[in-house]
């Protein structure tokens, strides 16, 4: 699949947005600032590790640093999230595995009580730092006013995504929450097709909105769904995506407010 040069929106764009009966939204970094919140949570957790084990020294005799802990954490995170949380564990189980992996890497012992304190620190920090993307609520309100049904299609643990949706005040706007964790399949392995079956709609009735080219746009296009790519650093426009058997148009927006302005008013 190849991304081609972006072009100005045409009239067909408005028709696709108007005729869709369902909008499927990615959650993390599409509707809220997930990277910022998770980064703050990781920092708080690793600082607690450093504080609790300030006297711990490695065989070299050098004290631990936050930079070393963070590098190890993100190495473990990259490996651990590659499967898109399809094995059904809870968010706390995933986090405990990552934290334990960091402790093991530096030969640090961790009691059950200490692990619980670390998990509580992470949860408190990520909840405190949750922040909606600018324009998220007005966009969702507009879609509901236009009579659209809305689902969240996300890669992540079911329990943490439920807490995130509730904490951000998104529950009133969504008809379904569909996660890789619950269905056991990643976006790139067929989650969008399963979502269509669950909701009971055809691909032509749906628009997908997501920030990830590889994990939102590409698999959704392969499932025959029209897409809006939310790329904040781009200028916006419309482009052709080459797929097997032809081409598909992808709408690009650099803000959720821009997408809101493109939603046609309902006609009586």
pLDDT tens digit sequence for 97-148:
999 999 999 988 889 999 999 999 999 999 999 999 999 999 999 999 999 9
Q: Does residue 258 sit in the same domain as residue 155? A: yes
Segment (H or E) for 249: strand 246-253
The answer as to whether 245 is a domain residue is yes
3-state secondary structure of 176: strand
Distance between CA atoms of residues 206 and 66, nearest Å: 45
Distance between CA atoms of residues 198 and 124, nearest Å: 33
Closest CA to 210 of 35, 30, 34: 30
**Which residues form the domain of 195?**
2-33+134-262
Model confidence pLDDT, tens digit, residues 192-229: 999 999 999 999 999 999 999 999 998 999 999 999 99
Distance between CA atoms of residues 206 and 224, nearest Å: 9
Which of 82, 103, 128 is at the close of a domain?
128
Model confidence pLDDT, tens digit, residues 48-97: 999 887 665 666 667 788 999 999 999 999 887 877 789 889 999 999 99
Distance between CA atoms of residues 194 and 92, nearest Å: 26
Q: What are phi and psi of 78, to 5 degrees?
A: -60, -40
The answer as to whether 268 is a domain residue is no
Q: Write down the pLDDT at residue 4.
A: 43
Q: Write down the pLDDT at residue 65.
A: 87
Structure tokens given for 205: 């009735």
Q: Does residue 220 sit in the same domain as residue 186? A: yes
Segment (H or E) for 38: helix 34-52
Q: Does residue 57 sit in the same domain as residue 94? A: yes
Q: Write down the pLDDT at residue 1.
A: 43
Q: Does residue 152 sit in the same domain as residue 61? A: no
Phi-psi region of 48 (alpha: psi -120 to 50; beta: other; left: phi over 0): alpha
State yes or no: pLDDT of 5 exceeds 60: no
Angstrom CA distances, 242 to 4, 171, 187, 194, 249, stand at 8, 36, 19, 23, 9
Distance between CA atoms of residues 161 and 126, nearest Å: 12
Closest CA to 209 of 169, 259, 244, 249: 259
- Helices 91-105, 112-128: axis angle to 10 degrees equals 120
State yes or no: pLDDT of 2 exceeds 70: no
Which of 94, 128, 162 is at the close of a domain?
128
The answer as to whether 267 is a domain residue is no
Sequence-separated (6 or more) residues with CB below 8 Å from residue 77: 98
Q: Does residue 39 sit in the same domain as residue 28? A: no
Q: Does residue 103 sit in the same domain as residue 168? A: no
Q: Does residue 224 sit in the same domain as residue 141? A: yes
């Amino acid at each position: 699949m190849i991304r081609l040069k972006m072009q100005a929106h045409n009239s067909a764009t408005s028709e696709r947005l108007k005729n869709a009966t369902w909008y499927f939204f990615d959650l993390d970094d599409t509707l809220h600032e997930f990277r910022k919140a998770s980064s703050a949570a990781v920092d708080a957790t690793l600082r607690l590790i450093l504080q609790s084990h300030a006297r711990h020294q490695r065989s070299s005799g050098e004290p631990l640093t936050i930079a070393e802990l963070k590098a190890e954490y993100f190495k473990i995170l990259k490996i651990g999230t590659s499967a898109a949380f399809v094995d059904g564990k809870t968010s706390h189980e995933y986090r405990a595995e990552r934290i334990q992996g960091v402790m093991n890497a530096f030969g640090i012992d961790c009691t059950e009580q200490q692990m619980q304190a670390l998990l509580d620190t992470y949860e408190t920090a990520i909840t405190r730092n949750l922040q909606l993307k600018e324009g998220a609520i007005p966009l969702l309100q507009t879609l509901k006013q236009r009579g659209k049904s809305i689902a969240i299609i996300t890669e992540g643990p079911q329990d943490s995504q439920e807490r995130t949706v509730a904490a951000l005040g998104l529950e009133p706007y969504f008809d379904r929450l569909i996660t890789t964790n619950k269905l056991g399949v990643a976006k790139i392995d067929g989650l969008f097709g399963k979502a269509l079956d669950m909701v009971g709609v055809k691909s032509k009735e749906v628009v997908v909105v997501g920030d990830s080219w590889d994990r939102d746009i590409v698999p959704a296009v392969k499932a025959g769904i029209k897409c809006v790519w939310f790329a904040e650093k781009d200028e916006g426009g419309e482009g052709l995506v080459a797929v097997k058997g032809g081409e598909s148009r992808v709408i690009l927006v650099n803000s959720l407010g821009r997408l809101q302005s493109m939603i046609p008013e309902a006609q009586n």
